[in-house]
Chain A
Amino acid sequence: MSMIDVKDLHVHYGGIHALKGVSFSVNKGEIVSMVGANGAGKTTTLRAISGILQYKGTVSFDGETLGGTAPHRIVRRGIAHSPEGRGVFPNLTVMENLEMGAFIRSDRAEIQKDFEHCFELFPRLKERVRQLAGTLSGGEQQMLAMSRALMSRPKLLMLDEPSLGLAPLIVAQIFEIVKKVNAEGMTILLVEQNARMALEISHRAYVVETGKITLSGSGRELLSDARVIDSYLGGP
């Protein structure tokens, strides 16, 4: 059974029809990515799932529909969203940001363990625990955003454009960690413009174009698909 099942998702921004019936699913333990150009509707999809945007269609998570659930309750259901542009709290320290990630939890001992786990994944963060998040580099902020999302102990982790504005070396590191987190059992829905990187680590992937899913398949299949190569991987 799939962990999250999205059927015929429509989102309107005022008069603009941004998502025109998107359907997809993510199974437990998978990395599924959505790739596509700017404005295709990838971020919109994640925001709809998070409850930040209103939508038509059904989103079922763990067998229950999420429609109309407020964003702060969605997190409690087990979906963590690491928003586009990272969205770290710039005037809070790294530690405080991580603590905010665990806002919905009260199991102190386990939270402590998860802090340690985040620092294992991202040793850089440990060095900067007392530093204000706004003073971190872009890559470090991305690491913080991912860690913070993990701190809610989600069943599904949604990452919006983790490679945005980062140096290739850092991007590779981030994707390594996405893979590692997934290997530890986390289900991941990844939205990316960096199609090659995303497809390489994904079990399955969807291509989104102007509010519709135009292609789907395993990461490897899409990597060798002529249309994908042409449009997203910089030609043959």
Chain B
Amino acid sequence: MPSPSTPSKMFQKSLVTPVAAMAVLAGLGYVIDVTANQYVQLIFLYICVNTILALSLNLVNGFTGQFSIGHAGFMAVGAYVSAWLSMHAHPMLLSGQLEFLNYILYAAAGGTFAALAGWFVGLPSLRLRGDYLAIVTLGFGEIIRVILLNTEAVGGARGMFGIPSPGDFMTKFLLATFWVMITFLTLWRLVHSVHGRAFLSVREDEIAAQAMGIDTTKVKVRAFVISSFFAGVAGSIFAHAAQYLNPSTFTFTKSVDAIIMVVLGGLGSLTGSVFAAIIVTILPEFVLRPLQEYTGVDLRMVIYSLALILFMIARPAGIFGTRELPDLFKRKAQ
């Protein structure tokens, strides 16, 4: 293993990729800002939202081998908390030029509340085996939606209007990609650490993991809480991108979307989740919608479902399986 000589050098080296990636994304943002219409711009923000959502769900479903099917619930918590704060806590925070920085705080707050919800749901249910978690998270997702539907303070069934936005598209996009980077790097570092190995070993064989001295319940709860945090962040970005929230956005279907992205990209592959989130967001909008306009028949969902089924038959492990993008290049180099 090549090891850089000093810790500070190692730190510098670890910063190169994220900074470069951020620069590329900023360039991409500029191009979209100049060339694309508002609809296309919104789709790109949704790509960021879905990427964070898929990455966070992958930690639980892919790396830790549990099965959560209520991720939309945590996203909803983050979205509503963030939206509410941006409408009510506004005067207390930064204003003027730096106002957009508040949105990082809103997202963090939304994420924190979602993480609390995750802890609350996970602690009792993660003591049990896989399927029970699925039932509990499914129930949780629905409970959150019904609570929001009946809470007048957040607009109830009418939804929440007039949510402020951090600024123009470029500001929104940079904030969104900032969180994408934070999510990706946090999870990447995590799953490649000793703690991350503990997540994997729980997925691989729970009894053997216990025999290694791993507190499996604690590991599962930890994965679940971290995952919920980032789902909340995704919700926050969604709230300020769309500037309108409605409980019906966060139905079971939204959770299933997240699962599709994770499975399609590969359970246990972070880069796979990113790819799948991009594909799953873009496909219905940029490929299937024009197709519908051309043919005049609305076959979007039919084609979409068919494509997923065929893909799963051809590549059941997902695009990357448990491997990451860099691994694929290594293979080729050999």
Residues of A within 8 A of B (CB): 50-52, 70-73, 75-76, 80-83, 87-92, 96, 99-101, 103-104, 148-149, 152
B257-270 to A contact mask, C-beta < 8 Å, 1/0: 00000000000100
Point out the residues of chain B lying under 8 angstroms from A83, CB to CB: 207-208, 211
B208 lies within 8 A of A104 (CB): no
Tell me if B34 counts as interface (CB < 8 A to partner A): no
Point out the residues of chain A lying under 8 angstroms from B268, CB to CB: 91
Point out the residues of chain A lying under 8 angstroms from B214, CB to CB: 72, 103
**Choice from B197, B215, B216 contacting A99 with Cβ under 8 Å:** B197
**Choice from A70, A91, A96, A152 contacting B215 with Cβ under 8 Å:** A70
- Enumerate the 4 nearest inter-chain pairs by beta-carbon distance, A residue then B residue, closest first: A87-B208, A75-B213, A89-B204, A104-B213
- Chain A nearest CB from B193 CB (Å) reads 11
Cα of A108 to Cα of B204 in the assembled complex, Å: 25
**Choice from A72, A88, A89 contacting B210 with Cβ under 8 Å:** A72
Cα of A59 to Cα of B204 in the assembled complex, Å: 29
Contact A101 to B212, CB < 8 A, known contacts A89-B201, A91-B322, A92-B197: yes
Point out the residues of chain B lying under 8 angstroms from A148, CB to CB: 212
Contact A149 to B205, CB < 8 A, known contacts A72-B216, A92-B197, A103-B194: no
- Chain B nearest CB from A53 CB (Å) reads 11
B197 lies within 8 A of A87 (CB): no
Cα of A148 to Cα of B212 in the assembled complex, Å: 8
Point out the residues of chain B lying under 8 angstroms from A89, CB to CB: 200-201, 204-205, 208
Contact A92 to B204, CB < 8 A, known contacts A72-B216, A103-B198: yes
Main secondary structure of the interface of B (DSSP, over half): helix
Q: Which residue of A lies closest to B200 (CB)?
A: A92
B200 lies within 8 A of A87 (CB): no
Cα of A87 to Cα of B211 in the assembled complex, Å: 10
Point out the residues of chain B lying under 8 angstroms from A152, CB to CB: 212-213
Cα of A50 to Cα of B322 in the assembled complex, Å: 31
Cα of A44 to Cα of B200 in the assembled complex, Å: 26
Cα of A136 to Cα of B82 in the assembled complex, Å: 50
- Chain B nearest CB from A156 CB (Å) reads 13
Cα of A72 to Cα of B212 in the assembled complex, Å: 7
- Chain A nearest CB from B106 CB (Å) reads 38
- Chain B nearest CB from A213 CB (Å) reads 24
Cα of A75 to Cα of B209 in the assembled complex, Å: 11
Cα of A96 to Cα of B212 in the assembled complex, Å: 12
